[in-house]
Amino acid sequence: MQVDYIIVGVGLAGINFCEQLRINGKSFVVFDNDSQLSSAVAGGLYNPVVLKRFTSVWKSKEQLELALPVYEQLEKLLDVTLDYKIPVYRKFASTEEQNNWFAASDKPMLSEFLSDKIIKNTNNYINASFGFGEVFKTGRIDVKTLINRYKEFLKRDSRFLKLHFSYDELEVNSNFVQYQNIRANKIVFAEGFGVLQNPYFKALPLVPAKGELLIIHAPELKIDFVLKSAAFLVPLKDDLYLVGATYEWKDLTNNVSLKGREELLGKLKKLITCPFEVVSQVAGVRPTVKDRRPLVGKHSKHENMFVLNGLGTRGVMIGPYVAKQLYNFIENKIPLEKEIDIRRFES
């Protein structure tokens, strides 16, 4: 089989790069064995503001302008709803936080995203005596559905291989790469946390961070916004809510833990007072980077080998942006932005 690209990994990074290839008429095959779950268990929120510090997310405006049309296009391609528009309410813990919010909402980079009004809490089951601040241009992408439906789409076109990718079987030549019976012009590794086992890119400073989420059933809560405090609470449907998320740096398995459950329940019980039932718990390992920028670029020795990784906790927003950057870098010789280029870590 002869193709333009081999892609390893079909999370948010892999899907967005595949879309760049598809719309530009490039042929490709994708390897994925379901071993990396960070995208599949992601909350899927897109939010242009860092709500802990009331600062703008890096390139937030550019990311949103690119990402939302991509997900709209994917909805049409896959015949499914993925983008659920929903406001985000940041709970205030004090008058000082209210004042900091007002100061942030006056800044040019934030004024279009932050409301300059305090929303009074009218829900008897939420502890929020200082009210909320509303973030605009927010929503949730159903990442699990996106991944499952995109895999089905790839299978129909015989472009998906649910197999473990063996690095030892990859033959790298100056003009092509060969993997078993597949010859490709280029290969892109978008395998998330799994890149730490990749002999070609394992030296990259990826910092794996396990995250756990709960899904609860709370029929009396009745909120139609994302509630952000020490934890976030995301309404789904049928009175179900997503509760997240934890950060764990030592246990890097995809197994749920009692520690993660108790941490989330502790935060949740400080936030809401209504009865609820835990329906399920999920875990996955995020590929994060110390400087909070993705890992994008070309291998130092192999001209036809590339990496797209390190999307971290904001993969929904940044995925389409960095995928387009990488495609333009490879095919159109447009330099990568220095903030995301893996060469920034070269000694």
Work out the pLDDT band at 47, boundaries 50, 70, 90: very high
What was the pLDDT predicted at 344?
Answer: 95
- Mention the CATH class of domain 2-42+144-205+291-345: alpha beta
Residue 40 has pLDDT above 70, yes or no: no
Q: Which range (24-33, 118-127, 286-295) has the least confidence?
A: 286-295
3-state secondary structure the chain: CEEEEEEECCCHHHHHHHHHHHHCCCCEEEECCCCCCCCCCCCCEECCEECCCCEECCCHHHHHHHHHHHHHHHHHHHCCCCEEECCEEEECCCHHHHHHHHHHHCCCCCCCCEEEEEECCCCCCECCCCCEEEECCCEEECHHHHHHHHHHHHHHCCCEECCCCCHHHEEECCCCEEECCEEEEEEEECCHHHHHHCCCCCCCCEEEEEEEEEEEECCCCCCCCEEECCCEEEECCCCEEEEECCCECCCCCCCCCHHHHHHHHHHHHHHECCCCEEEEEEEEEEEEECCCCCEEEECCCCCCEEEEECCHHHHHHHHHHHHHHHHHHHHHCCCCCCCCEHHHHCC
What was the pLDDT predicted at 290?
Answer: 87
* Structure-derived torsion over alpha carbons of residues 146, 152, 156, 158, reported in degrees to the nearest 10: 90
What was the pLDDT predicted at 42?
Answer: 76
What are the pLDDT digits (tens) for 154-199? 999 999 999 999 999 999 999 999 999 999 999 999 999 889 999 9
Work out the pLDDT band at 36, boundaries 50, 70, 90: low
Residue 37 has pLDDT above 70, yes or no: no
Average pLDDT over residues 212-218: 96
What was the pLDDT predicted at 34?
Answer: 76
Q: Where are the domains of the chain?
A: 2-42+144-205+291-345, 87-136, 208-289
Q: Tell me the CATH number for domain 208-289.
A: 3.30.9.10
What was the pLDDT predicted at 41?
Answer: 67
For the entire predicted model, the pTM comes to: 0.94
Same fold, 2-42+144-205+291-345 and 208-289: no
Average pLDDT over residues 40-57: 88
Average pLDDT over residues 2-9: 97
What was the pLDDT predicted at 187?
Answer: 98
What was the pLDDT predicted at 346?
Answer: 84
Average pLDDT of every residue of the chain: 94
What are the pLDDT digits (tens) for 299-335? 999 999 999 999 988 899 999 999 999 999 999 999 9
